Amino acid sequence: MQFKPVQNFRCEAGKTHCSHMRSCDEAMYYNKYCPDTKMDGNNDGVPSERQ
């Protein structure tokens, strides 16, 4: 899966889990650029694998 950063995403306080995301692209952005996310349980770089 190729991830391309999208400029319209920005880190927002409190958005740390997959259920807070609107799309896979947003989850990928948060996982890569935002601190303290809890979306990549196995640390392979792919968030929200169970959803």
pLDDT at 15 over 80: yes
Neighbouring CB atoms inside 10 A of 12's CB total 10
46 alpha carbon, distance to own chain's centre: 8
Predicted TM-score (pTM) of this structure? 0.75
Quote the pLDDT of residue 49.
Answer: 80
pLDDT at 6 over 90: no
The mean per-residue pLDDT over the stretch 18-45 comes to: 91
The mean per-residue pLDDT over the stretch 33-44 comes to: 91
Q: Quick one: which of 4, 7, 15 has its CA closest to 37? A: 15
Quote the pLDDT of residue 33.
Answer: 93
- Residue scoring higher pLDDT (46 or 3): 46
Q: How would DSSP label each residue in 1-51?
A: ------TT----TT--SGGG-SSHHHHHHHHHHSTT----TT-SS---TT-
